[in-house]
Structure 1
Amino acid sequence: MIAAGLTVVFGMLGFLNAAHTAFYMLAGYAAYAIVRHTGSFWLALALAPVIVALIGVAVERLLFTRLYRASHASQLLLTIGLAYIIAEGAKIIWGDSAFTVAPPPILAGRFSLLGATLPIYHLFIISVALVLLCVISVLLVGTRLGMVVRAAAVYPEMVGALGFKVRTIYTLVFAVGLFLAACAGVVMAPLAGVYPGMADDALVQSFIIVVAGGLGSLPGAFIVAGLLGVVQGFGSVFFSSYAIFFPFIVLGGVLLVRPHGLFGGRAA
């Protein structure tokens, strides 16, 4: 979900957002705060992504719109600085401690499949990711709005000449990308907890997935994320001392065969 949001923003806007996982972390803290005050995980899942997306829209309007036509180096410098500001702001508000978020009782059990006992919550995370991926894919490929968004990514002047507000389209795309990352932050909170370093832990793997899948490619991000999950799963069991290297092995293996990523073009 994080990589999909990063891919949508880069594929549609050509904007490299190194603060993407900072919003993922912010959604985790928002979910923790909502659950703490209301006791409802479902309310957190409904509200936290929307709140974080709205904050992202304000940041996009204030800062990012100035850099859409700038170099990627300028974009990275700004967003890395923003990531540090968000991380330190979270520490000021919530401190350095890690927090746990309890999953709803209906998702707290386990089930057996082919002799293996699996947590129901893991299946829930997979289901949420698949549903969001399908919704975004259908929205971008099968709707008139998606057609306008894809056209604005390639021919913004022509889309503007037809009467569409290109700036508004960019803001919408950015909000969708952050919404995906925020959903990931909420559903990961009961599994991994909420802590100040969760943005850094997700950033490297997200960029590995996006680069190996092909910059701007949702199918590529989906396939590489699945491949990375399988490789890390087996690696953690059989080669736990070297598990930290497996994401880079996946990246190197893909780029040796496809230098532009699985579905990336030469321009990327």
Structure 2
Amino acid sequence: MAPELARTTEQAQPVYSRYWLHNKGPAPLGYLPVSIAVTPGLVESPEGPFEVEVVLASHLTDTAHEGVAEIRVPEGWTATPSARPFRLTPGGHLRFPVTVTPTAAPEPGLHFISARTHTSGQLVEDITTVAIGPAPELPVPGTPPELAKATRGTTADTARPTGLSITTVEDSLTLATGDRAQLTLRLTNTTADEIRGEAQLASPWGTWSLLPEVIKGFTVAARTTAEVSFPVQVPHDHPTGHAWALAKVMWFGRCQYTPAVRLEVTR
């Protein structure tokens, strides 16, 4: 058997099934042969048990796929069923309802229902957001602005809250050839549930040798702060000069960008 020339699975797991919302390209590594989705995407202040719907679909054309769909709910909540074995014929699909029962007095804030399954060595999941009480992280109510106005950008100094606050620990890094350092993100989860996601660095051509690892998965528990660090290494033959790097942070269909961090190489 020929050796693999590159990765065939995503480095950050689990893989979010609606990958296009993360601006990730045409498909995750492995091409997502089996997808999973849960609807609705948002449930606001449910009064007692509520229902979501899970759909599994096979994009395989010549083989069947067997697996288990699992439903993850916040601590103390229940899902019925919490797991569903399935078998999909080539090109087949399966749709089934799930009843979610919150605790008697759920904590205010955002909670997340996850429908997940394993396929081709990867864990794939989709998310329903459940908002308990008023939630400033939800979309602004009312009619969306006209496209011409919406694309003008903003003059605000801060963005609307999303549930995950992201800052860079360093505003700039100045390194001599041969030096090593870290570019660190600080992630603060203001929701009532765990957040799982992926951070990816972007930088201009000519700087990629400085950043040997540009993708990191992360998990941030509810109401806590965690850090994600990327190594920065300057080869001995790297020319002097300065450039930039920024991080794109993706989680549960949200996509956020950090300010650029200045990267300077000196002698």
TM tier relative to shorter chain: under 0.3
For the pair shown, the structure with the greater C-alpha radius of gyration is: 2
More helix by share: 1
Name which structure has the greater RCO, CA cutoff 8 Å, separation 6+: 1
The TM-score normalised by the length of structure 1 is: 0.21
